[in-house]
Every structure is written in C-alpha cells, then in structure tokens.
Amino acid sequence: MAERVVRLPDVGEGIAEAELVEWHVKVGDVVREDAVLGAVMTDKATVEIPSPADGRVTWLAGNVGDLLAIGSDFVRMEVDGASERVPEAAKPASPAASALAKKADHGATTPRAPASAPPDARRSQPSAAPLHPAVERPLAAPAVRLRAREAGVDLRQIHGTGPAGRITHDDLDALLLRGRAGTPATSHLAQTAVTDIKIVGLRRKIAEKMSIANARIPHITYVEEVDVTALEDLRAKINDRKLPGKPKVTLLPFLMRAMVRAIAELPHLNAHFDDEAGIVHQHAGVHIGIATQTPTGLVVPVIRHAEARDLWDCASEVARLAEAARNGSASRDELTGSTITITSLGALGGLATTPIINHPEVAIVGVNRIAIRPHWDGSAFVPRQMMNLSSSFDHRVIDGFDAAQFVQRIKLLLETPAMIFID
C-alpha cells in the first residue's frame, strides 16, 4: 500500500483559498475513484472534490467552516501502487480537476452524476477489510444535504423523486411534514436544549458581506407611500389578456422599468463606490439585482441591461433567475455584477424596512407589502391599494435631496403607469 495525496485544486476565479462546507467521508472510509470526498465553497459556488482513485481515507484536512489554501493537502489515502506525493505543479491536470474547474467557473452547485463504477463507501471498516462499497450515498444537492443535517434527517430514509433518484427539496419537505403531523403535542413541557449552529458556507458569506456593508456605508433610508391602485388594475388586465408565450407580470417588472427611467435622470445612483480608491464607477448599463431567498440563504441574481428590456422580457428574466437561484443552478455570472438592487419580502414585506445596501453599490430599493388603506382624495377618504417603498442610499456619495428625487420619480411613474411606456 502507498499514500496518495489529494490536493485542493484551483477552482477558478484566481482565488487563494476556499471554505470547507461539507465532508462526505471520514477517516477509515473506503472510497472508489470519482466518489465525492468533500465540498468547498468559493463566492457563491459550491464545488465537490472527487477521489482520483480507489483507496482508504487516512487523513482529512480540517473541519467544516475552515478556510483551506488552494493546492494544500485535502485528503490523504492509502492506495495500491507507488506513492504519489508529487508536487501538483509537476503533474498534468487530471480530467477530474479540469472538469472541476470548469464546473466552478459555471457556478454549478448540483452533485456529480453517479460514475459507472459502483457507489462509494461511506462507512468505516476495519483496516483488513477488502476494498468494496458498504453503503450507497444518496444523491442530493449540497443545499438539500445542509437542510437535512440541520433538521437531523438521515437522507437514506428518503426515496428521491428527482433524476436518477436524486433527493429534492420537495422530497425533504414531504418527510418533514409527515414527521410534524405525527408528533404529539408537548406544549406544556419545558425545553432546555441548546443547539449550536456554526455559521458556514453561504450563510457565512452573507454575514461577511452584510458586516462590510454596515460597517463601511453610512446609510440613509427614505420611506415613501405609493398609491399602486392604477398599476394593480393595469397589471390584472395584462395578465387576464395574457398572450401565448408571454409570462405573468408581477409588480417587479413595472418597478424595474420605473427605476430605469429614474436612473436616466439621476445616473449617479447606478454606480459602485470604491471607497479605498475614492472613486465612483458610474455605469451606463442598468444591471438590477433581485434579492432572492433560497433554502441556503439570500442570493442576488442579476437582470442584466434592464434598460434594453421591455416589461415582459423583465418578467421572464426575473422568473428564470429566481428559479435558478432557488434550485442552485444559477451561474456565477448570473449572481454577480449588479449596479443597483431591489429587495422585496412580498406579502410579508411589512410597513417599512431599512434595507442594507449591496456593497459596493450606492442604492437599494425596498418593496413593502400592498395593503388597502384609506386615502384622502381632496374631499373624502377612499380605499386605495397602497405600498411603501423603503430605499437606502450611501450617504457618502448620494445626498438626501438626490435620494428623495429618485424615489419621487419612481413614485410618479408607478402611480401613473402609462408614463412607464412613454419615451
């Protein structure tokens, strides 16, 4: 037997380190070639590291949440044949490493398809045991595995309904719902357990980004009430008469078109602020980020060149990217590069919020829920569909007057939606 060292490959982006988010093996496990050893995260892409050969795991690089240097030892294994502790630079890139880098560049987050070899072993066996798989590892995306681990669910209990038996979020939800339905009421029992949950993966990336934004940016938040009765009437008529091939239109495409019109008059709000260099990068293209909640955390898919899209094109792209973000198929390019962001909690939007700017942008528009409220029309109170916009601005580069002008322009366009379509 000889030692084989699996090093953390270069997964793209020119990064120097990646975060360890999941181990799929433990010391003593017997694994087959191409079996997944573990997963690392860089930016918003989760990448699985395959085994280059059959062998037995003898050493693991660290614990979930650790940052590992590119090129450092990831896993050590006992394999048949001569030792392979040779520098990575001296070896040609393996097909698995090349495929891994390509996968990272496209932001893939779904697991590898099963190899033609038998499924890899996942259980410890005595050192004298023959090399063979002990238990087949269920197929599931990293996001599903994370939810299952947090809920204390063994994925082997679930029959996957996805392609090749892959376990989906719906499969996990069905099991959790059955569990809750069969749980006896214990409302009068005192609970004393404390659960420690380490902040890792996407949740840690979100925490780091929010901390930077909150620490560096002096926010000014401007809240304005908008009468969207006419817009909601127009939207209902558009959806009632929807032509084949046209998507259902929500409020967001109207807001996106209104923002494009407002930015044309106040272009310095469509910008990034490099606070270290003291430079504002004002963008001609309007790339609108849509803050989207997913099973693993908040991500911001980007509708590029909103200035060149009509209402239905905006609606189609919002729906496509939101679904891609939620199922983990969005690429890195689709999750980066926004110049201004919209955040909305839909029906849970509350009366007002204080959105945190998506650093290094200088503005974010927050959408609150629509509610019927009494509105004074000059002679009487009448019921109207009202919605608040809660928008935050980087006060270092955006004055309060410009922030107010921007929101008031959006308000005018939303309250008179025909103006959105008039050049």
Residue 280's pLDDT is what?
A: 96
**Burial of 325 per CB tally in 10 Å (0-12, 13-18, 19+):** buried
CB atoms within 10 A of CB 78: 15
Structure tokens of 151?
């809920």
The active-site residue, picked from 159, 399, 402, 423, is 399
CA distance 216 to 107: 28
CA distance 224 to 335: 29
Residue 321's pLDDT is what?
A: 95
Beta strand spans in 32-138 (E): 36-42, 45-50, 55-60, 67-69, 73-79
Residue 80's pLDDT is what?
A: 83
Structure tokens of 66?
């650790």
Beta strand spans in 308-409 (E): 340-344, 363-376, 381-394
Q: Look up residue 328 and give its DSSP letter.
A: T
Backbone angles phi, psi at 145, to 5 degrees: -60, -40
Task: Based on the residue annotation, tell me whether 394 is a catalytic residue of this protein.
Answer: no
CA distance 1 to 197: 39
CA distance 304 to 314: 10
Residue 22 · residue 62 · CB < 8 Å: no
Q: Per the omega criterion (within 30 degrees of 0), is the bond before 52 cis?
A: no
Residue 44's pLDDT is what?
A: 55
Residue 12's pLDDT is what?
A: 66
Counting as low any pLDDT under 50, the low residues of the chain are: 83-135, 185-187
Task: Based on the residue annotation, tell me whether 196 is a catalytic residue of this protein.
Answer: no
Residue 130's pLDDT is what?
A: 40
Residue 6 · residue 35 · CB < 8 Å: no
Specify the residue for token string 């980087």. 394
CB atoms within 10 A of CB 358: 23
Residue 261's pLDDT is what?
A: 97
The active-site residue, picked from 219, 305, 395, 402, is 395
Per-residue pLDDT tens for 299-351?
A: 999 999 999 999 999 999 999 999 999 888 888 899 999 999 999 987 888 89
CA distance 312 to 268: 27
Structure tokens of 346?
């839909």
- Say if pTM beats, i.e. exceeds, 0.75: no
Residue type, 353: T
Specify the residue for token string 């003291």. 278
357: nearest Cα among 346, 366, 367: 366
Per-residue pLDDT tens for 76-131?
A: 999 886 544 444 433 334 444 444 444 444 444 433 433 334 444 343 333 333 43
Residues whose CB is less than 8 angstroms from the CB of residue 248 and which lie 6 or more positions away in sequence, other chains included: 239, 242, 315, 319
Residue 43's pLDDT is what?
A: 65
Structure tokens of 248?
């259902």
What is the C-alpha end-to-end distance of the chain, expressed in Å?
74
- Which ranges of 43-131 does DSSP label H, i.e. alpha helix? 95-105
Task: Report the DSSP beta bridge partners of residue 365.
Answer: 342, 391
